[in-house]
Structure 1
Amino acid sequence: MALNNVKETGVLIVGAGPTGLALACDLARRDVRALVVERATTLFPGSRGKGLQPRTLEVFDDLGIVDAVLAAGGPIPVGMVWRGGERQGEHRMFDTPEPTETAPYTTPRMLPQWRTQEILLARLRELGGDVAFGTEVTGLTQDADGVTAALSTGATLRAAYAVAADGGRSTLRRELGITMSGETVDPSPVLVADVRIPALDRDHWHMFPAAEDGGPYTAICPLAGTQHFQLTAQLPAGTAPDLSLQGVRDLVAARTHLAADDVTEVRWSSDFRPRAALADRFREGRVFLAGDAAHVHSPAGGQGLNTSVQDAYNLGWKLGAVLRHGAPEALLDTYEEERLPNAAQMLGLSTRIHRGEARRGEATRQLGIGYRGGSLAVDAREGLPESSEALRAGDRAPDGPCGEGTLFDAFRGPHWTLLAIGTDTELPTLDSELVHTHAIPAYEPYGKGLFLVRPDGYVGWAGADARDGLTAYLARCGALRTS
Structure 2
Amino acid sequence: MFDVEVPVLIVGGGGCGLAASIFLSDLGVDHLLVERRESTSVLPRAHYLNQRTMEIFRQHGLAGDVYRVSAPLANIGEVVWRTSLAGDGPLDGRDLHRMDAFGGRSTAGPYAADSPCPSTNLPQHRLEPLMRAHADERAPGSVLFNQVMEGFTQDESGVTAVVTDRVTGRSRTVRARYLLGADGGRSIGAALGVGMAGDGGAFDVISVHFSADLSRWWPGDSVLITNFVSPDGGIVSRYGMVAMGPSWGLASEEWALHFHFPAGVTPDLGEEASIARVRELLKLPDLEVAIHQVSKYHPEAVIADSFRVGRVFLAGDAAHRQPPATGLGLNSAIQDAHNIAWKLAAVLDGRADESLLDSYEVERLPTAHRNVSWAMYAFRNHAVAHAGLGLFPGQPPEATKANFEALFSDTPMGETRRVRADEVFATQRVEYQAHDIEIGFAYETGALVPDGTPPPPRDPMGARYHPVTRPGHRLPHAWLTRGADRVSSHDLVGASGGFALITGAVDEEWEVAAKRAADACGVAVTVVPVGAEPDAARYHDADGAWAAVRGIADGGAVLVRPDNHIAWRGGEGADEDLTAVLRRILGHHDTTTTRS
1: CA distance between counterparts of 2:262 and 2:65?
Answer: 40
1: CA distance between counterparts of 2:135 and 2:455?
Answer: 44
Aligned to 2:148: 136
Partner of 2:147: helix, strand, or coil?
Answer: coil
Partner of 2:231: helix, strand, or coil?
Answer: coil
Kindly provide the CA deviation profile for residues 26-55 of structure 1, in whole angstroms up to 9, marking residues without a partner as x: 100111111110001111111111101111
2: CA distance between counterparts of 1:244 and 1:446?
Answer: 57
Aligned to 2:395: none
2: CA distance between counterparts of 1:276 and 1:450?
Answer: 40
- How many pairs were matched up? 470
Partner of 2:94: helix, strand, or coil?
Answer: strand
Deviation at 1:136, TM superposition (A): 0.6
Among candidates 160, 164, 188, match of residue 177 of structure 2? 160
Where in structure 2 are the equivalents of 1:364-403 lying within 5 Å? 366-371=438-443, 373-380=444-451, 388=457, 389=466, 390-400=468-478, 401-403=480-482
Among candidates 231, 236, 244, match of residue 270 of structure 2? 244
Among candidates 9, 16, 41, match of residue 6 of structure 2? 9
Query: Is 1:125 aligned to residue 196 of structure 2?
Result: no
Where in structure 2 are the equivalents of 1:51-450 lying within 5 Å? 51-74=48-71, 75=73, 76=76, 78-80=78-80, 81-83=82-84, 85=87, 86-89=92-95, 91-92=98-99, 94=101, 96-98=107-109, 99-106=111-118, 108-129=119-140, 130-153=142-165, 154-167=171-184, 169-185=185-201, 187-201=202-216, 203=221, 204=223, 205-211=225-231, 216-226=237-247, 227-259=253-285, 262-356=287-381, 359-360=430-431, 361-363=433-435, 366-371=438-443, 373-380=444-451, 388=457, 389=466, 390-400=468-478, 401-403=480-482, 404-406=485-487, 407-414=489-496, 415-422=498-505, 424=507, 426-427=509-510, 428=513, 429=515, 430=518, 434-441=524-531, 443-447=547-551, 448=553, 449-450=556-557
Distance 1:331 1:347, change over 3 A: same
Deviation at 1:346, TM superposition (A): 0.6
2: CA distance between counterparts of 1:265 and 1:283?
Answer: 44
1: CA distance between counterparts of 2:378 and 2:314?
Answer: 25
Bigger drift between 450-459 and 250-259 goes to 250-259
More helix by percentage: 2
Distance 1:354 1:17, change over 3 A: same
Higher radius of gyration, 1 or 2: 2
Bigger drift between 318-327 and 219-228 goes to 219-228
Bigger drift between 285-294 and 353-362 goes to 353-362
Distance 1:405 1:217, change over 3 A: same
Aligned-residue Cα RMSD (Å) equals: 2.6
Structure 1, gaps ≥5 residues long: none
- Work out whether residues 377 and 393 of structure 1, in 8 Å CA contact, stay in contact via their aligned partners in 2: yes
Deviation at 1:217, TM superposition (A): 1.6
2: CA distance between counterparts of 1:364 and 1:398?
Answer: 12
Higher relative contact order (CA 8 A, sep 6+): 1
Structure 2, gaps ≥5 residues long: 166-170, 248-252, 385-427, 458-465, 533-546, 589-596
Bigger drift between 355-364 and 331-340 goes to 355-364
- TM-score, length-normalised on structure 1? 0.90
Aligned to 2:581: 473
Distance 1:140 1:303, change over 3 A: same
| Structure 1 ranges of 4+ moved more than 6 A | 212-215
Deviation at 1:478, TM superposition (A): 4.9
Deviation at 1:236, TM superposition (A): 1.3
Aligned to 2:17: 20
Distance 1:12 1:38, change over 3 A: same
Deviation at 1:379, TM superposition (A): 4.2
Which amino acid in structure 1 is aligned with residue 529 of structure 2?
Answer: A
Distance 1:224 1:376, change over 3 A: same
- Work out whether residues 228 and 237 of structure 2, in 8 Å CA contact, stay in contact via their aligned partners in 1: no
Deviation at 1:218, TM superposition (A): 1.9
- TM-score, length-normalised on structure 2? 0.74
Which amino acid in structure 2 is aligned with residue 440 of structure 1?
Answer: V
Kindly provide the CA deviation profile for residues 271-327 of structure 1, in whole angstroms up to 9, marking residues without a partner as x: 112211110000111000000001111111111100111000000000010012431
